[in-house]
Structures are given as structure tokens and as C-alpha cells.
Amino acid sequence: MKHWIAAASLLIAAPLYAQGLTLPADLPSAEQAQVAIEQDPGVNQARHAVQAATYSAAMLAASPYAWTAGATAQRRRIDGGGTSDEWNLLLERTIRIGGKAGLDRDLGDVGLQHAKAQLGAARNESARQLLDLWLDWLTARQAKELLAEQVKFAETNAGAVDKRRKAGDASLLDLNVAKGDLAEVQRQANTAAATEAKAQATLRVRFPQLPLEARPLSEPVLLERDEAQWRTLIKDSSDMLQAAQLALKKAELTAARARADRMPDPTVGVFTASEGAGTERIVGLSLSIPLGGTYRNQSAKEALQQVEVTRAGMEKQIRDLDVQIATLVSDATSNFASWQSAEQSAAAARDSARLTQRAFSLGEADLQTLILVRRQSVDATNAAVAARADALRARYRLLIQARLLWASF
């Protein structure tokens, strides 16, 4: 089992290394992601579907028709006296004609390929969900840590104001403002802690095998490709698109099978009998053919229409995928720019808060100004963390869609 997981992790990591990219340090390792994804209920369901499709392909290749054996025994009363014990043995089987056996084999093969493509799509969806929940948790954790630091600042400020009041340098109003600020920051910290706990619980329940090792969010980077390159890369590796194409091929084969089925399959057999009190032995061949009718013709027409239904569904999926790719590339580009702006704003706000804190300590700034500037710094820093997570999320989603991150084997 350990060797299998190690091999799987190498296969997952290989696409990134092949593209000259580095595995993101803020995400679970390839091995950890593989274990979590492979044990996801949706992936497990798709894996069982592949096994079922394997049996279905074998069934179609083997033919639905089986040999039928029959026997009859009778006693004939002869006019004028006497009886004759007679019997009949029959062995027959329906055979597929008109290329139906080959069509059935092709249907089984395409059905198996379709199930495998759906398994890949299930893994891709599981990876996307893991990414979103993981980033939600890291973002909430950083917000909790930031507000925990702000509680310490508020406690320090409240203590300083209390000392000033005792020394006669601050009013009761200043003390009440400081205490009110501390209470508000503590409330925000409690809310952030609850949000982080909820995000962690959701991640733990959804992917119980995943070790929850907190890591700082990485530095976002610009996209390595333009939209056209991402579109080509994602479409060439899309399991969902492959599944849609295979569904169309399966519908076309089903229609061809329905057309072929307008010619009914004959049943051929051999029989032997004994009559005339054992004085007559009979050996013969039998042939029976169902007479085609309206049902078979309408079934062929319905199958042809299903081809068009499936084709329209595939075209819709292609268009939806194009929209999704364009949206992801746009989000990654705009979110990166937004993160840069948010980082600059947060850096300026932190400098202002640091300078104002020093001025307050020297008695050169009042408490209300300090509280206002510090809250602006907290808001700006929180916005920068959220912008960082959004920029990373958009890029990582592109990597997952292109099978460059946590790609399944």
C-alpha cells in the first residue's frame, strides 16, 4: 500500500515538474492529496462504475443469447390397439446477424472508456473541492491570527489609558473608549475563531484522511500562459469533455445497433426424435425468425434522435467549458492585480498604525485617532489576505483543470 501511494504521488507531481512549475508550498503534498481524493465518496462511486462497465463490456461481447435445450416425451395411442412411446430432443440458440456482435463489442468498449473518463472527472471535481475548502480554512486561520494580535494591541492600549487616567493624564471617557474598543476587537476575534473552526470542521468532515497542517498562503504569481494556451491545454486534458465525446460515440453506436436490430435475429437449432414405437428416428434442423414490426422501426428512430440530444449536450458542455476557462483566466489576472493593490494599501495602513501607535505612546496622538487608524489597518490587512487567497484560488483552479496540479493517474 505504501509503495502504491508513493508511486501515485510521483505520478501526481510529475505534470508540474514536466511544465517547469513548483508544487505550491501552501497546499497539501501530492501524496496527501492523492489519498484524500481517492477515498472521496464521489471518486469511489465512479471507480465502482468503471468496474461495472468492465462487466457490462464482457456481457455485450459474450452475447445476450444462450443455448436452449428442450425435451418432450409422449405416449401415442394407436387406433386398433397398442401404444407408442415417443420423445424429442432439441438444442437451439439465437444468433446475432448483420454486424450486431461487432457493434455490441464496440458499445462495451466505449462504455468502459466513458466510465473511466467519468472517473477522471470525479477526481478533478474532488480536487477542486479540496482546494476550495483548504484555502477557505487557511484564509480563516490567518484572519483569526490577525485579530488575535489586535486583541493584544487593544489590551495594551486599554492598560496604558488606565495608567494615564490614574496619573491624571486621561479622562474617564478615554478609558471607556479604550475598553469599548477592546470589547469590539474581542468580539471580532471570537467571530474569526468561530469561522476558522467551522472551515476546519467542514474540511475535516469532507476529507477526513487529509492531515490539517496549517501553512502560510504563498505569494501569488502571474499566469504563465495566455487564454488561448490555457484553453488548448485544458481542453486537451479535460475528462469531462472526453466523457461528453464518448457519450456521443456511444449514442451513435446505439443508433447503429437499433438500425441493425430492424433485421431480427434468427434462432437455429438441431433436434432428434423417436417415433413409431422406436421404429422411426428423426434428425433435423430448425430455424425461426421473428417478424419485424413497428416497434423495431420506432426504436431505431428514437435512437437516432438520442444522438442529436447527446450531440447538443456535448456542444453545450464545450461552450460551458470555454466560458469557464475564460472566467478562470480573467479571475486569475484581475485577482492578481487586486492582490497587488491590496498589499500596497495594507502596507501603507500598517505603517500608519505603527506611527500612530508611537505617537500615542508619546502623547502626540489621541486615542480616537489611534483606534481609527488601527481598525483601518486591520481592515486593509484582512482585505489583502482575502485578495491573496482569491488570486491563489483562481490560478490553482486553472492548474487543476489543466491536470498540472494533483492530476490523477
pLDDT of residue 1: 37
Q: Is the pLDDT of residue 55 over 80?
A: yes
What mean pLDDT comes out for the span 299-324?
A: 94
Confidence of residue 7 (pLDDT cuts 50, 70, 90): very low
Q: Is the pLDDT of residue 171 over 90?
A: no
Residue-wise pLDDT for 238-265, tens only, equals: 999 999 999 999 999 999 999 998 889 8
More confident residue, 308 or 364: 308
Say if pTM beats, i.e. exceeds, 0.85.
no
Half-sphere CA count of 2, side-chain side, radius 13 A: 0
Average pLDDT of the chain is: 88
d(CA 12, CA 172): 63
Q: Is the pLDDT of residue 15 over 80?
A: no
Q: Is the pLDDT of residue 317 over 90?
A: yes
What mean pLDDT comes out for the span 127-142?
A: 95
pLDDT of residue 374: 87
DSSP string, 229-271: HHHHHHHHH-HHHHHHHHHHHHHHHHHHHHHHTTSPPPEEEEE
Confidence of residue 408 (pLDDT cuts 50, 70, 90): low
Rg (CA), the chain: 37
What mean pLDDT comes out for the span 390-405?
A: 93
Q: Is the pLDDT of residue 409 over 80?
A: no
Q: Are 92 and 269 in contact, with CB atoms under 8 Å apart?
A: yes
Dihedral Cα 176, 178, 182, 183, nearest 10 deg: 20
Closest CA to 184 of 387, 384, 378, 383: 378
pLDDT of residue 8: 41
What mean pLDDT comes out for the span 277-288?
A: 86
Q: Is the pLDDT of residue 375 over 70?
A: yes
pLDDT of residue 45: 96
Place of cell 449536450: 313
What mean pLDDT comes out for the span 99-105?
A: 92
pLDDT of residue 21: 59
> Which of the residue ranges 13-22, 303-312, 318-327, 391-400 would you say has the lowest mean pLDDT?
13-22
d(CA 320, CA 314): 10
pLDDT of residue 12: 42
User: Domain locations in the chain?
Assistant: 2-64+98-264+295-401
More confident residue, 20 or 94: 94
Q: Which three cell numbers mark 144?
A: 483569526
d(CA 301, CA 295): 10
Q: Which three cell numbers mark 153?
A: 494591541
pLDDT of residue 75: 84
pLDDT of residue 63: 86
> Which of the residue ranges 111-120, 131-140, 277-286 would you say has the lowest mean pLDDT?
277-286
CATH number at 2-64+98-264+295-401: 1.20.1600.10
What mean pLDDT comes out for the span 32-39?
A: 92
Indicate the SS3 state at residue 170: coil
pLDDT of residue 20: 46
Closest CA to 2 of 35, 29, 27: 35
Cα four-point dihedral sign 33, 34, 38, 39? negative
Residue-wise pLDDT for 137-150, tens only, equals: 999 999 999 999 88
Indicate the SS3 state at residue 180: helix
DSSP string, 29-68: -HHHHHHHHHTSHHHHHHHHHHHHHHHHHHHHHH-S---E
According to DSSP, residue 78 is labeled P
